[in-house]
Amino acid sequence: MPIDYAKLKNWSFPDVEHRYELRDTILYALGLGCGSDPTDEEELRFVYEDGIRVLPSMAVVLGYPGFWLKNPQTGVDWKKVLHGEQGVILHKPLPASGTVIGRTRVTEIIDKGAEKGALLFSEREVIDKQSGDRLCTLTSTTVLRGDGGFGGASGPAPEPHRLPERQPDISLDLPTLPQAGLIYRLSGDDNPLHADPAVAIAAGFPRPILHGLCTFGVAGRAVLRACCYNDQRRLESFRVRFSAPVFPGETIRTEIWRDGKTVSFRARVLERDIVVLNNGYATLAG
């Protein structure tokens, strides 16, 4: 049965109140591989409470509404859903602990046709409960592979950011841990695809894959280190398109182009020489 555009477009999300502690912030950073060299003072800034800094990509786990598309009332074939793109706009540095409110809404749904599926665009604002300050805005594109042809508008869809044609200015290799998926899931995404070998095999993978948002965070670490000297206040926005999964234990090479306050990037795994994140775009503070 085709999805109901009006119903899905106007889906009502309850506010999500999310209390997190310093240990949650450290656990998130450990899931991205921070601290793999415990003598690296730059890395310790994200995993040690003395003068701790918060990775900007941690925004993706704050105020998360859960996998709401699994609700039968949406009419979506949730087993054919893919995460297409993710973006973060930072309005203020994230606190190391606190209580936030997550407010999510669907901004648009584009019908690409029965054979191509549909694109669902959503936005989540994360607000500091105590001060009322808006901390960040998250944008997401979800590919509904089984729900095209419902009769909605066919576009236009936003064009992906084009990478420069020259060689990257910087390349930074960051290894992922063999147990990265088991650690990262403790930050809120407990999909068994990332932990249970039987579930992964049933989904067509030889073993559990890494969370896409963990890969997103690793690339964010690379941009932060290469372009911001690990100062989270210097990163204003960060967005990327997912193109292939990563297996825990693989090494992610982030290729970076710097043009003033604009950063372009992509990420590939060295072991298979395959691009896993593409069309990356970030903006830096002055």
DSSP 186-222: GGS---GGGT-HHHHHHTT-SSPPPPHHHHHHHHHHH
pLDDT of residue 156: 84
Structure tokens given for 267: 């990420």
Average pLDDT of the residues of the chain: 96
Smallest CA-to-CA distance from 259 within 164, 179, 188 is with 164
Active site residue 50: no
Active site residue 209: yes
Enumerate domains of the chain plus CATH numbers: 5-144 (3.10.129.10), 170-284 (3.10.129.10)
Q: What is the mean pLDDT of residues 167-172?
A: 98
Indicate the pTM of the whole model.
0.95
- Tracing tokens 């970030």 back to the chain, one arrives at 282
pLDDT of residue 286: 75
Please tell me which residue in 89, 127, 209, 252 is annotated as part of the active site: 209
* CA atoms of 30 and 47, how far apart (whole Å): 7
pLDDT of residue 103: 99
Q: Looking at the predicted structure, is the pLDDT value of residue 203 above 90?
A: no
Q: Looking at the predicted structure, is the pLDDT value of residue 265 above 90?
A: yes
Active site residue 161: no
Please tell me which residue in 212, 217, 220, 280 is annotated as part of the active site: 212
Q: For the chain, how many residues are written?
A: 286
Please tell me which residue in 24, 111, 147, 189 is annotated as part of the active site: 189
Please tell me which residue in 75, 111, 147, 194 is annotated as part of the active site: 194
Q: Looking at the predicted structure, is the pLDDT value of residue 282 above 90?
A: yes
What percent of the chain clears pLDDT 70, i.e. is strictly above it? Answer: 100
pLDDT of residue 242: 98
Q: What is the mean pLDDT of residues 191-210?
A: 93
* Helix 22-31 and helix 212-228, axial crossing angle in degrees, nearest 10: 90
Residue range 58-108, pLDDT digits in tens: 999 999 999 999 999 999 998 899 999 999 999 999 999 999 999 999 999
Q: What is the mean pLDDT of residues 207-236?
A: 97
pLDDT of residue 111: 96
As a dihedral over the C-alpha atoms of residue 187, residue 32, residue 64, residue 275, rounded to 10 degrees, the angle is -140
Active site residue 212: yes
Q: What is the mean pLDDT of residues 146-163?
A: 91
